Chain A
């Protein structure tokens, strides 16, 4: 019998009611809902990193927050080793199982507390160290693990750069010794040279502390570097799930293909020849019928407008939500002229 996965997300949906004016309330019209996450299922094994990518409005951040416990999913369950992660009886344990790193390093730390105070608070609330000496020792160790000098702990957040603040946030998350870390765009707000430092840190910590990550990002290159498996989201659904390298070498879903083609590569000899994805994201309050992507899909057929495809395992470990999975490569259209060399 196989062991229950570390994290099991089962058909989780998250909807937000749209705000309505008084006239609409009195008129009795049905409230519109923003379906941010639509029946997402995903599993995370111990020590594994799953990357979650997609553009704005795809629901990846919302899903991350549901898993962390900041939102209560409208439906579905989130299980930790087989038990509900955020059930009220487990509420005390949840922080020591799942922690989160946020995107904005300038808003992630209480500006009025020194680093030492921020970290010691975590340790004392969870009784992870008692007595001033032990607490200081632990704080020193946490800072060293993330690559910061313990001598800096008496300072306030404003004296640290973005990259350093992310390190401190990571130290704070590690203080409770979690097994799962949800990283919500942890390097998007940092300069490229600092991004590399923080990505390396994530990888090193994963090895040393046997952490599992759900790594949310919009930058596919970052995700590719860090993840074992990657899930691509569009309009609240996972449209493709595959091992990292395979996804990049051979995308099965037209949206994944579009994302990959759209990334500007720093090689002037490889000027992109694929045509751009047309149009804009549909209104998430009323997703298109059938496949949500059909309005922008270069290979959509009649079936796509009527029947919503399911996420199916079209090849071993290759899950694609598309009636024409893996057909996109054959159809990658190249315009004959206006190529810039």
Chain B
């Protein structure tokens, strides 16, 4: 495997300017994704994982977002320096994205085959008939039965799980090197989630594609990801290979998250929730963002937000008290 990372995010900071306040959605985030790697981005709602994905593709859909600083290196180029035309060449062809809600991510008035073929015509300059044939093949690859008939159907004729497969087909059409999957299975039943995750892994194996998988479910992370970053309040709390994170968490938030998942212990024991409430991103705290809810917080934790520290090979944590967790 090539040692150069496919994607390298350096000190990314994205702020949403709302009337009267600035929401610091992504705050000095840095991580790399290797070729053929499944990288998990984990956190609860509002932690900045979705905002990070949108920052990579600069797809804010009209929201008042500003990337204040940072560099996103992809294949040697800094994506943040590209103008909009070059960026739109990247989207769909080199980096693709699939979204959470299968009900609203497809155009309801366009046939499925058309939606898949569109990208092929735009990026690979295929002709009409060529792109339609390719669309049909793609539908088959993602596990839609009878693709020759289904290709002419409309989104409403597909179930949630099927629509997610269609979205994956659209995303794969131009064989991108990186697929960003923003909570692709959160809205799906658990048996369908299982099918979709296995599909994503099969695609990774067959095409050597990297996947940035955003999720709040540590179970999904355990089953699919090679490495993972845990985000809290717009910053990375811990960055490690999956096994190290789940077996030896070195950040109080990671550990607390693991402990609060039900199903780990005997039914009579009480769950250990994380006390307090989620942070206010428009008023970021001075020190570590997690300290008000942390059972190990000290006075030093309020001074400055900790940087990521390498504590073991392949594991870095943004906590000055990580020693207490080992």
Contact = CB atoms under 8 A, between A and B. Distances in A.
A245 interface: yes
A194 B278 CA distance: 9
A218 interface: yes
Nearest to B158: A280
B222 A193 contact: no
A200 B45 contact: no
Contacts, number: 124
Interface in A34-78: 55-56
Given A221-B263, A265-B223, 11 more contacts: A55-B191, A161-B277, A191-B45, A196-B262, A196-B274, A200-B270, A220-B190, A225-B263, A225-B271, A262-B191, A271-B222
A266 B194 contact: no
B191 A276 contact: yes
B231 to A, nearest CB: 13
Given A196-B262, A224-B263, A277-B195, A263 B190 contact: yes
Contacts of B220: 264
Residue with the highest number of chain B CB atoms closer than 10 Å, among A56, A163, A218, A261: A56
A193 B273 contact: yes
A266 B246 contact: yes
A228 to B, nearest CB: 9
Contacts of A264: 193-194, 197, 217, 219-220, 222-224
Interface string A206-219: 00000000000011
B191 to A, nearest CB: 5
A272 B194 contact: yes
Interface of A: 55-56, 161, 163-164, 191-197, 199-200, 203, 218-222, 224-225, 244-245, 258-259, 261-272, 276-277, 280-281, 338, 340
B216 A263 contact: no
Interface in B167-198: 189-195, 197-198
Contact of A191 (B189, B216, B243, B267): B216
Nearest to B145: A279
B44 interface: yes
Given A221-B261, A224-B263, A277-B195, A196 B273 contact: yes
Given A193-B257, A224-B262, A268-B243, A259 B190 contact: yes
B162 interface: yes
B107 interface: no
A314 to B, nearest CB: 23
A220 B191 CA distance: 12
A262 B44 contact: no
Nearest to A227: B267
Given A161-B277, A265-B222, A218 B162 contact: no
Contacts of A164: 277
B81 interface: no
Interface string B218-232: 111111100000000
Q: Which 5 A-B pairs have the closest CB atoms?
A: A221-B263, A264-B219, A196-B273, A55-B189, A193-B274
B69 to A, nearest CB: 28
Contacts of B192: 55, 280
Contacts of A281: 159
B261 A199 contact: no
5 contacts: A192-B257, A192-B260, A218-B190, A222-B263, A277-B191
Contact of B223 (A218, A219, A221, A271): A271
A273 to B, nearest CB: 11
Given A56-B189, A197-B273, A259-B191, A268 B222 contact: yes
B267 A245 contact: yes
B82 to A, nearest CB: 35
A220 B44 CA distance: 20
B201 A340 contact: yes
Contacts of A199: 262, 271
Contacts of B161: 280
B6 interface: no
A225 B197 CA distance: 26
